[in-house]
């Protein structure tokens, strides 16, 4: 379960942040998770509860937003958002604007800590 190791890393970062900012408590954490990470938001929230026990983040609310996969066309430079489907053969890995197959995965593999709310 890689959600637990991710949650532990986030909690470690939050503890350092709280110390730097003089926060006594983390009230809310806002995360964005790319579709290609295969991270289950529900499992990530549950793992966060476990990882944050006994820390300044214990009891904080965790909000997880999914980020769509985005391809960038190296020919025309435009971004193409794609929604995940059941199998890899259902995907069209080409630019929907110019038709080029010269595309790169630009977004969808990240786990981002977007915002933290804390109390001093």
Q: Domain limits of the chain?
A: 2-68+108-119, 69-105
First to last CA, the chain: 33
Give the fold, CATH level 3, of 2-68+108-119: hypothetical protein PF0899 fold (3.30.2320)
Predicted TM-score (pTM) of the model is 0.83
Q: C-alpha 35: how far from its chain's center?
A: 8
- What is the pairing mode between strands 25-34 and 61-67? parallel
What's the whole-number average pLDDT of the chain?
Answer: 91
Cα-atom radius of gyration of the chain, to the nearest Å? Answer: 18
Work out the average pLDDT over 83-110: 80
Based on DSSP, count helices (H) and strands (E) in the chain, helices before strands: 2, 6
């Amino acid at each position: 379960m890689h959600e637990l190791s991710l949650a532990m890393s986030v909690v470690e970062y939050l503890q350092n942040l709280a110390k730097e900012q003089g926060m006594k408590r983390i009230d809310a954490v806002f995360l964005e998770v790319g579709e290609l990470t295969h991270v289950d938001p529900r499992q990530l929230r549950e793992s966060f509860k476990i990882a944050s026990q006994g820390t300044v983040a214990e009891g904080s609310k965790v909000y997880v937003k999914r980020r769509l996969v985005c391809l960038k066309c190296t020919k025309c430079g435009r971004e193409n958002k794609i929604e995940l489907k059941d199998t890899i053969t259902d995907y069209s890995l080409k630019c929907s604007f110019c038709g080029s197959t010269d595309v790169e995965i630009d977004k969808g593999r990240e786990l981002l800590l977007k915002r933290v709310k804390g109390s001093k």
